[in-house]
Amino acid sequence: MCDVGRMELRDVPRPRMGARDVLVRVAAVGLCGTDIHIFAGHANYHTDARGKRIPLTQHPQILGHEISGVVEEVGASVTDLRVGDRVVIDQGLNCVSAGREALCEYCATGDSHQCEFYLEHGITGLPGGLADYLAVPAVNAIRIDSDVDIAEAALTEPLSCIIHSSDTVAARGAGARYKLNDDERERRVQATLVCGAGPAGLLFVQYLRNVLGYDGLLLVAEPNERKRALAAKFGAETIDPRDVDLTEAVMEKTGGRRVEYLIEASGAGQVFALIPGLIRKQATVLLYGHGHAGTDLSTINNVNFMEPLLVSAVGASGGFDADNRPSVYRRALRFISDNRIKVAPFITHRYTSLHQVPSALAHEYLRSDYVKGVVTL
């Protein structure tokens, strides 16, 4: 990215690596909504020390943060990875990545995505995965110990974000009125609504059903027919908000109760404005989608009257295993590898060249048959 809406294919020096690093030959990169937002100029997460955005014309950005690849070279101090190992990459650099003996307060509690020194490959100015090679700390490379398809493995990162979000709901919702799978029926989430069936929404549906064991009513609101079909395949009852009034449909399907748990995964402003009519009082609302254009702060007033537990979660924090690698990524990779979470059905577009990326980010994602794109190199 050398400017908003403009990408160039350039020859750049091979990444330099230190003794604690590995050089990875990139094999696959998922194209994320964040990439689309950066490409369109709706977002720029590369800022200076004062939080001022640094223009792409001043500091070009190699995009790509959903990454899998093969270890090409290992640093002198790396003993637990070998050349030829297939790996997925945690693109976020934190205190553990840097080898700091004293962790910041966020890394110390497993909230590494909020690290005081946080940087991110493909997003905050550091080079991303849309390149031949990427050098990262060895602890940011998680070995793939199965025969899972390398393109599917690249979706470890977005699934890790869904796991972190769900973990955050569980942790902050300890005192919530309604909980998933509570023993007491009156305290149990009887109906859940997921707004949006893009990759995130589809991952939430599967995580609820196949990992958390949620067997209550699971509704998905999504205008795209193909995405609705996928949501239904994964165990949800779908609603087309173009054909029916969403609030009325939810009231009907829940017998007038409305939902005890709402996951906003669309980023659509009009959905945020509808939340008060969709949720039961003191429900839990997970704000996962980004954007909400056209919604001003006054909308929150009506939400507040319902006294919901509002949860916002970003990234894939979740603590570190004994080898200092991120535990959430390992969990996500395991779920994809053992097929509890199926990602292949919604990888609708596979690109085999970096030359195809600009058109994918500019307009192909708008196609009715597009759900998720992955670049294989």
Contact between 75 and 138 (Cβ < 8 Å): yes
pLDDT above 90 (res 300): no
Listed by start position, the domains of the chain span 21-155+347-376, 161-312
Q: What are phi and psi of 75, to 5 degrees?
A: -70, 165
**Which string of DSSP letters, residue by residue, matches 222-275?**
-S-HHHHHHHHHTT-EEE-TTTS-HHHHHHHHTTT--EEEEEE-S--HHHHHHH
Average pLDDT over residues 125-141: 98
Q: How many CB atoms lie within 10 A of CB 289?
A: 20
Q: Residue 377: which of 131, 148, 169 has the closest Cα?
A: 131
CATH number of the domain at 21-155+347-376, please?
3.90.180.10
Distance of CA 201 to the CA centre of its chain: 10
Superfamily of domain 161-312 in the CATH hierarchy: NAD(P)-binding Rossmann-like Domain (3.40.50.720)
Instruction: Kindly state the DSSP code that residue 14 receives in the 8-state scheme.
Output: P
Least confident of 103-117, 265-279, 330-344: 265-279
Share of the chain above pLDDT 90, in %: 91
Least confident of 126-140, 171-185, 253-267: 171-185
How distant, in Å, are the alpha carbons of 6, 255, 267, 300, 309 from that of 305? 44, 22, 22, 9, 12
pLDDT above 70 (res 325): yes
C-alpha to C-alpha distance for 1 and 143, rounded to whole angstroms: 29
The catalytic residue positions are 34, 37
pLDDT band at 275 (very low <50, low <70, confident <90, very high): very high
Q: 53-88: per-residue pLDDT in tens?
A: 999 999 999 999 999 999 999 999 999 999 999 999
- In DSSP terms, 312 is beta-bridged to 287
Q: 219-258: per-residue pLDDT in tens?
A: 999 999 999 999 999 999 999 999 999 999 999 999 999 9
Phi-psi region of 191 (alpha: psi -120 to 50; beta: other; left: phi over 0): beta
C-alpha to C-alpha distance for 63 and 295, rounded to whole angstroms: 28
C-alpha to C-alpha distance for 343 and 244, rounded to whole angstroms: 29
